A = this chain, B = another copy of it.
Amino acid sequence: MQVSISDAINQLLEVLEQDQITTNETVRQLHAKDESHHEPVLPDVVVYPRSTLDVQNILKIANEFKIPVVPFGVGSSLEGNVIPVNKGISIDFSLMNSILEIRPDDLLVKVQPGVTRLQLNKELKKYGLQFTVDPGADATIGGMTATNASGTTAVCYGVMRDQVRDLEVVLADGTIMHTGNLAVKSSSGYNLNGLFVGSEGTLGCFTEITLRVFGIPEFVTAGRALFDTIDSAVQAVTAIRQAGIQIGRVELVDEASVRQANIYNDTNYEEKPTIFLEFHGNQSGMAEDVSFTKDIFEEYGCTNFAFETDTASRNKLWEVRHSIAYAFIHGFPGKKMMTTDVCVPISKLAEAIRFARSQIEVTSLVGGIVGHVGDGNFHALVMYNPQSDEEKLSATKFNENIVNFALKNGGTCTGEHGVGIGKAKYQQTEHGNSLEVMKAIKKLFDPNNILNPGKIFIS
């Protein structure tokens, strides 16, 4: 350990309680990785702030000693976003997990970054409200804000950036500032909310997050629609999107993924390309949307459209959908998952998924495709043996080819996972000379490059 870090730790010990700081090996191991395939790196120290003031003190010390800091929620990120690649301080926000204020009349809630989405929804339910962003994992609100997370409901309620009304942020030098207000809209000053959402801890640390919430819809119906080919399934979804049908969720799951999900969940869903979907709204409006959707799906050869109206089987359906990544991981012990996260214009989605399917074949690895197809965002994944250079190379190439397809077609390398480590190499191609502007903004906020260095930008 270099001198600077030990000096920094000594100073941290002066501003934090004993139980808020540790160099314990096991704890550092827990903060060395996320749920991605990226290699773990141990931080030098892990700290547990209890307040904005703690975060301010931590950042002041880190900045003085030029020690990297990485904000950490529950480690459910998927591109190495929380891996401390340059070591330093991992800031674990698990002690800052209070729901600070619920304003039902304003449909707003203010939380600390360590609150998880299920914790928040459990509380909101008492008010007939819901926080809609649903990435699958029970991620923290701080982490979801940092990566601009979305998930199955974005097609209806928007992504994380659409929900954030205000952030309390601590900057690299310890300055505490706010990025927004409590109004529904504003044309005052520059839009700092949008800039900080998705900044992956590279511009500052969030200490309070004010979010828009929604009333729990009056009626909800979920269903599964089976198709003969993945192509017709995607085209059917594109058609209902273009028809402007109000949809709550619309998810594609290919045959291989249904198979894996059946094994993992002990379900017996028919192993065909399937659209999992959900409708939200008032009873009669929803009924009309459902029947309109059925008509369109039949045009595209939908063979079976089964509905789950009771809450239990509806929850089971989404549990199965969300289990797929884990189903693959648990299904192939010792293997790692390489997953893509591209988002393409709707008109290119069917072609993109055909291409992705072909790329899975090329690897001759086990893989599947799932995705938030209503938004043009999907995940093509393969399972590879990290001990085999050949499989590793093949999985990496697979990821690259799909990203390059997306970028060539007006899409993005990441729809919701964030850039982290894995997508940094595509930033130049995707953003062109606006990447220089992004780097200048980074330098402006973080001159010593202490805030999650090595993420978004290749250092």
Contacts and interface: CB of A to CB of B under 8 A. Distances in A.
Interface string A188-200: 1111111101110
A330 interface: no
A331 interface: no
Interface in A421-449: 423, 426-427, 430-435, 437-438, 440-442, 444-445
A372 B433 CA distance: 39
Interface stretch (A3-11, A112-120, A251-259, A279-287): A279-287
Given A159-B185, A177-B437, A433-B177, A107 B346 contact: yes
A447 B430 CA distance: 27
Nearest to A410: B182
Nearest to A159: B185
Contact of A187 (B147, B182, B283, B445): B147
A53 interface: no
B183 A376 contact: yes
A186 B289 contact: no
Interface of A: 103-108, 147-150, 154, 159, 161-162, 171, 175-179, 181-195, 197-199, 203, 214-215, 217-218, 238, 242-244, 246, 281-289, 292, 341, 343-347, 375-377, 406, 410-419, 423, 426-427, 430-435, 437-438, 440-442, 444-445, 456
18 contacts: A148-B191, A161-B191, A178-B434, A183-B406, A183-B412, A184-B376, A186-B343, A187-B415, A187-B419, A188-B412, A188-B419, A188-B426, A190-B198, A191-B194, A191-B198, A281-B285, A284-B288, A285-B288
